[in-house]
C-alpha cells in the first residue's frame, strides 16, 4: 500500500511489480535510479521508468495502485512522488542499454539501471550540459556502489562521447585520477 511515508524505493518496487504482472518490463532510470543506489546522498522527486517490453493493461495496473494520469505524469493522492515514463529506447548518450540490474524484495521485483549505467546516466548531464549536480549524483552512486561500478566502461564511454577531460574530473574526485 502506497502512503505518505512510502519511500521512492518502496514505490519503485510496487510500480515495477504491478507492470511486470501485466507484461511490461519497466526499468528505473535517471535520478530515481541514483536515489535507489544512494538515497542518503540524493533524493529524486519523481520516478522515471523506460519501458523496454510492453504488455497490456499498464494504465489499469497503475490505477490499481492509486495512480492517476495528469498530463505527462502519474500522481498518487497519498505520495509526493510522481511517475514518468520517458520515451525509449533505454540509452545513455549514444549507447543503447540492453541489460540492467534486477532486485527482488519478497514477492516484488525492480528493474533498474546497473550502478555503472546509473553513473553514466548521471554523468551525461555533466558531460553534455555542464550540470555539476549530475556529477555529484554520479559520485554518490559510485561511492555507494563502488565495487559494482566498472570505471573502464565509464572512461571508454566518456572518450567515445568526446569528454575525456570531464571523466578526468570524475576520476580525480573518486581518487582514481587518470
Grid cell at residue 163 = 569528454
Quote the CA–CA distance of 37 and 114 in Å, as a whole number. Answer: 9
- Collapse the DSSP code of 1 into the 3-class scheme (helix H, G, I; strand E, B; otherwise coil) and give the result: coil
Strands 46-53 and 25-29: antiparallel
- Collapse the DSSP code of 78 into the 3-class scheme (helix H, G, I; strand E, B; otherwise coil) and give the result: coil
Q: DSSP string of 102-164?
A: EEEETTEEEEE--HHHHHHHHHHHHHHH--HHHHHHHHHHHHHHGGG--HHHHHHHHHHTT-H
Quote the CA–CA distance of 61 and 18 in Å, as a whole number. Answer: 6
Q: Residue 125 in contact with residue 31, Cβ under 8 Å?
A: no
CA angle 40, 172, 121 (to 5 degrees): 55
**Least reliable range by pLDDT among 7-11, 18-22, 51-55, 111-115:** 51-55
Domains of the chain (ranges, CATH numbers): 8-112 (3.30.460), 115-173 (no CATH)
| pLDDT (tens digit per residue) in 127-169 | 999 999 999 999 999 999 999 999 999 999 999 999 999 999 9
* Residue in the block written with cell 502506497: 2
pTM: 0.94
- Collapse the DSSP code of 7 into the 3-class scheme (helix H, G, I; strand E, B; otherwise coil) and give the result: coil
Mean pLDDT of 86-112: 95
What's the pLDDT at 112?
98
- pLDDT reading at 95 higher than 90: yes
- Collapse the DSSP code of 47 into the 3-class scheme (helix H, G, I; strand E, B; otherwise coil) and give the result: strand
Amino acid at each position: 500500500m502506497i502512503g505518505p511515508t512510502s519511500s521512492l524505493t518502496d514505490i519503485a518496487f510496487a510500480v515495477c511489480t504491478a507492470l511486470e504482472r501485466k507484461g511490461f518490463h519497466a526499468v528505473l532510470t535517471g535520478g530515481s535510479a541514483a536515489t535507489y543506489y544512494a538515497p542518503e546522498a540524493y533524493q529524486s522527486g519523481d520516478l522515471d521508468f523506460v519501458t523496454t517490453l510492453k504488455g497490456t493493461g499498464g494504465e489499469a495496473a497503475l490505477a490499481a495502485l492509486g495512480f492517476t494520469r495528469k498530463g505527462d505524469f502519474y500522481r498518487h493522492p497519498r505520495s509526493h512522488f510522481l511517475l514518468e515514463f520517458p520515451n525509449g529506447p533505454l540509452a545513455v548518450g549514444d549507447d543503447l542499454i540492453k541489460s540492467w540490474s534486477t532486485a527482488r524484495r519478497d514477492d516484488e521485483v525492480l528493474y533498474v539501471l546497473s550502478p555503472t549505467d546509473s553513473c553514466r546516466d548521471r554523468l551525461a548531464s555533466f558531460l553534455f550540459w555542464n550540470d555539476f549536480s549530475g556529477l555529484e549524483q554520479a559520485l554518490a552512486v559510485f561511492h555507494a556502489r563502488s565495487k559494482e561500478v566498472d570505471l573502464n566502461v565509464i572512461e571508454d564511454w566518456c572518450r567515445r562521447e568526446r569528454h575525456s577531460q570531464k571523466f578526468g574530473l570524475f576520476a580525480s574526485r573518486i581518487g582514481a585520477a587518470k
